[in-house]
């Protein structure tokens, strides 16, 4: 079944994408939750018209994301965590701590737009996080976890 997404859904697609999914997934989850609508001919016409109107707005948003990415390119973060004597972190460092560290530097980024490469950060060391600013713009940030 073809559907039009109304929201960004991780590992599925971005808002306003027309994608093909299994019928049960669409009928039982995506459509009832309000994440998508069926891609009927009338819905496709409305979608095309909306996309034409939004094209110039999207270009502006993309340019803003590119400017923000240029500012963040050389940024490196230091995140303090309580550790044992062997360097293992009590708990783990996740996207919430990275978002807070970015806020301290003056960048207001939603934690849902941040992903950490590899498994959870459970030891002191240097790591890389990817920040998805726009569907076509993402920037990698180096961060170091140190013992407090």
CATH architecture type of domain 2-69: 3-Layer(aba) Sandwich (3.40)
47-90 confidence digits (pLDDT tens): 998 888 888 888 888 999 999 889 888 888 999 888 888 888 88
19-45 confidence digits (pLDDT tens): 999 999 999 999 999 999 999 999 999
pLDDT at position 118 over 80: no
Q: List strand residue ranges (DSSP E) for the chain, in order.
A: 2-5, 18-20, 36-38, 76-81, 88-93, 114-116, 121-123, 125-134, 137-147
pLDDT at 34: 94
Q: Which CATH fold topology does 74-147 show?
A: Ribosomal Protein L9; domain 2 (3.10.430)
Q: Where in the chain is the domain with CATH 3.40.5.10?
A: 2-69
Query: 0.75 cut: is pTM over it?
Result: no
């Amino acid at each position: 079944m073809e559907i039009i997404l109304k929201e960004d859904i991780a590992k599925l697609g971005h808002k306003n994408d027309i994608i093909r999914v299994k019928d049960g997934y669409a009928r039982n989850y995506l459509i009832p939750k309000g994440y998508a609508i069926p891609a009927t001919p009338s819905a496709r016409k409305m979608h095309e018209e909306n996309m034409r109107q939004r094209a110039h707005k999207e270009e502006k948003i993309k340019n803003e994301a590119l400017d923000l990415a240029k500012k963040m390119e050389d940024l490196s973060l230091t995140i303090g965590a309580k550790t044992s004597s062997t360097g293992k972190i009590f708990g783990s460092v996740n996207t919430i701590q990275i978002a807070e560290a970015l806020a301290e530097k003056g960048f207001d980024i939603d934690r849902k737009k941040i992903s950490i490469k590899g498994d959870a950060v459970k030891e002191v060391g240097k790591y890389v996080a990817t920040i998805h600013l726009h569907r076509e713009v993402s920037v990698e940030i180096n961060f170091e976890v140190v013992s407090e």
